[in-house]
Structures are given as structure tokens and as C-alpha cells.
A and B are shown apart, each in its own frame.
Chain A
């Protein structure tokens, strides 16, 4: 039981390049989330999904797109990377109802130069 895994762990992009971060969970959770963590700001929600084929915007969705084609996977895409997207990205999953605790992946450190 791997829990929540994220691919890749590290990535360096040039401004304007695109990439996709992959999140996978093996706990059969309905809900999945993408967060970014910046120094001094805690975690901020980018997008989330409450089920296969559904997505919703979080607090900071601009510049990102997501897809949830399979229940166990949640993809985060950057179409044209900007230096402001340099951050650590965390994926999480949870069951649909209480207790609402989220299980987090180990994170992806992205640097955009």
C-alpha cells in the first residue's frame, strides 16, 4: 500500500515550457487535491476533484489545469511555466465524508528559471 505518490520528485523548467505532474493514490479515495507551498504561506489549494471526471478551482488556480480521468490519478498541468510557479507541489486524497483528513504525497519541488 503506497498511499499517495507523486511523479516527478524534482523538476527544473525554463520559462514558457510545459509539464505535467502526476499524482496517484491506491486508497480508493473519492477526493483528490493539488496544493502549492511557498515560504511563509502554508499550503494553498490550486484545484481539487470530488470524483472521476470532475474538477473544481481552489484558491490559486490561474496558470494551472487539471484532469481526473481515472479515480486513482489526478494530473496537474502547467501550460506555460512562469518563475512565480516555482514552489513545492503537494497532492492529497481523502474519503468523501468525515473525518475529512487528507493523505498527502511527498511533494514535487519545481523550479522555473
Chain B
């Protein structure tokens, strides 16, 4: 049973508009969350993270929102650019349980010019 879910396998948005990628988790002990972006034939690259003591973290065009009661987080990209087209992975960690990062299956974002 997947502990981290990304229920949308793919998403298409117009350039300049907002992209919203969603992630749900089942383990209430997760207390740290990260988003990674992955281009084909490359390794994932880190985008942004958030601790469970916060409900929002912002870095440039990227904002992550965390709703602990709903066990839900989302990544907002504003404005979306064609170079943002990639697969986005959500990852979760329970910090007092070793380094067992759990990744979601990913969402493929396509930003259309």
C-alpha cells in the first residue's frame, strides 16, 4: 500500500498560468516533505521542502502548502514555464525513523507554449 500518493499521473497547463501538483500521504508520523523534479534520462533534482511545523514554504516561483489534518500537500508553480515540463515527485520522511524517504509515483507536468 503506497504511503505517498500522487493521484494525477499527468497535468497540462498553459505557459504563464499556475500549475498545482498534489500529494497525499497516509502515515501521520511523516514530519518532513520534499518535492523533486526529474527530466528524462537524468536524476531527480531538489525543488523545495517543508517541515510539518509549517503550513507554507515559498522559494521564487515555487510554493509548497501543507495541510496536516488532511494529510495533503501541494506544489504551486507560478507562472509556469515550458522548462518546467518534467515529472514531479513528492517525498516524505519521518525524521526520527532513520533516512527512510518515501516517494510518490510522480506527476508528469506539461507546460504548453
Contact = CB atoms under 8 A, between A and B. Distances in A.
Q: How large is the interface on B (under 10, 10 to 19, 20 to 34, 35 or more residues)?
A: 20 to 34
A104 B45 contact: yes
A113 to B, nearest CB: 22
Interface of B: 4, 6, 9, 32, 34, 36, 41-46, 49, 89, 91, 93, 98-106
Nearest to A105: B43
Contacts of A90: 43-44
B49 A44 contact: no
Interface of A: 4, 31, 33, 35, 40-45, 48, 50, 56, 58-59, 90, 92, 99-107
Contact of A107 (B43, B98, B99, B102): B43
Contacts of B6: 42
Contacts of B105: 40-42
B93 A100 contact: yes
